[in-house]
Structures are given as C-alpha cells and as structure tokens.
Structure 1
Amino acid sequence: MYIYLLFIHIISAVVAMAAIICYPLIMSSARTVGQAKFALALLEKTAILPKFGGTLLLLTGLALGFLEISLFRELWYVSSIAFFIVILIIFAGLIPSGIKQQLKLLQQTKGDVLPDAYRLNRRRSAWLEGIANLAALISILLMVFKPY
C-alpha cells in the first residue's frame, strides 16, 4: 500500500508543482490587454491543477505519515506539510481572487495598453507566486534531502 500511495504522491506533486511553476512564466509574457486577457483566462482554466494536485499531494502525504507514524516526529516532514499548506492557501484562495480582479480591470480597459491598476494588481500576484515557488522549492528540498 505504501508504494502505491508514494506513486500517487509523486504524480500529484508533478501536477501541482508544474502548475505552480508555470503561473509566473505565463503571466510574464503578457504585454498587451489582449495577451493579458488570454493569459488570465488560461490560468483560470488551469487553476484546477494546483488545487486538485495539491489537495491530493497533501492527502497522500498525510496518509503516508499515518502508515509510518514515525514521520510525524520528523521535523522535515512536518515542515514540508506546513510549507505546502502555505502554497495551497496562495493558489487556492489568493491567486484566483487576484485573477478575477485583474480580469475585471482589463474588461474596463479600452485600447491595448495595460492600465496602471492592472500592473499594480499583477505585481501583487507575482509576489505571491514568488512566495509559493520558494515554498515549493523548500518543500521539495526537505522531502528529498530530509535534512533534520
């Protein structure tokens, strides 16, 4: 049972982490209102990946811990879960609300020049995405190297 859970855990990590890493890459390429609308619509459609993959990742990680109770005494394991909860909060709650606000700002825009209000809101989202990417990197490092 442990090996099957571990397999699902790794697959869900790939799904969730790939989406998390791609968010800033997709959004950094938008230079016009049309491009930004397309990029935000794409992110809205792919928002299920970090939510589904992340939830499955968290659940399988906890299940692995319940199969091997000693993991709950390992600081690297508990820290990984804490970092991943931060990632889930950002990508399940904060980023989607930012996407909706940015789309609303772009819908009100005439022309193809990105408005300052959009740029400010986008910077906030980029900052959150950076935090999530850093947390993802730390979480992966903790799970691979188990430093403490």
Structure 2
Amino acid sequence: MDQAETKAAPPVEEVAHWAADLDESRSELIAQARWFAAEALAAASPALPVATVGTVKLVVSELITNACKYAPGPCRLEVTVDAEAVVVRFADTSSALPQPQDACPERVGRHGLEIVRAVADSYRTRLVPGGKRTTVRLNLPPLV
C-alpha cells in the first residue's frame, strides 16, 4: 500500500495592524514596530523561516526610520502573511516620494531605500490622501 505524500497545509491569510504617533521616541518606535512584525509573523502556520522573519524586521526598521525622519504625524503598519508571501504595507503622512540614490559606499546613512529594494521581491510607493503608502512583498519559499 502506497503512502500518500503529505504536505504542510498552506497558511491561512493572517493580517495584523499597528499604528503609532511619530512624536514618540524614535528608538522606541522602531523597537515596537519590529516587535509587532515578529509577533504577527509568529502567528503564521506553518512557521516562517528565520531568515524571512529577520528580513521583514529589517524592512520594518527601515520604513519606520524613514517615517520618523521625514514624516510628521501618525503612521500605520500592516503585515499580511499568506501561502506565497509576506506583504508589508506602511503608510505615513509625508507626500514626498522616496528618491532612490546611486549606491555610494562613502555615504554615511540614507541607505534604507537601497536595502529595502535589494531584499524585496517587489516594492512600490504611491501617494494616497494624507500622505503615501509603501508596499513591500517578500515571496516565501515553496512548501515542500
């Protein structure tokens, strides 16, 4: 009698939301956002690869850092996990779109957008009423 192959069931879509006022301490906000993202990803079933969790936390750190520097007012973070990807959506009050810069090893700082674009499978920022919204997609490895 042949045994049927069993595969892990794909995760049900999980969506988590976090909002903050950017008047708080920058380092505290970054830590809170990273914690939120890690908790949202911990709820995924099956468990996500450790490297994916680290990459999502890095993306969140870069997005919140930029908002703290350039966008006064509140921000909103959404993390969605499904069978194919983790999608991070971040909204802030700045109406200025980020401008990519050429890589420059001598430049100190301002590498956040470079980093996010390098690790993302897709990246988009668009203007919305009241500011802008950035969407970053990180594809998950296929279930085996």
Could you tell me the TM-score, scaled by structure 1's length? 0.33
Could you tell me the TM-score, scaled by structure 2's length? 0.33
Structure having the larger proportion of residues in strand: 2
Quick check: which has more Rg, 1 or 2?
1
Structure having the larger proportion of residues in helix: 1
Relative contact order, higher structure (CA 8 A, sep 6+): 1
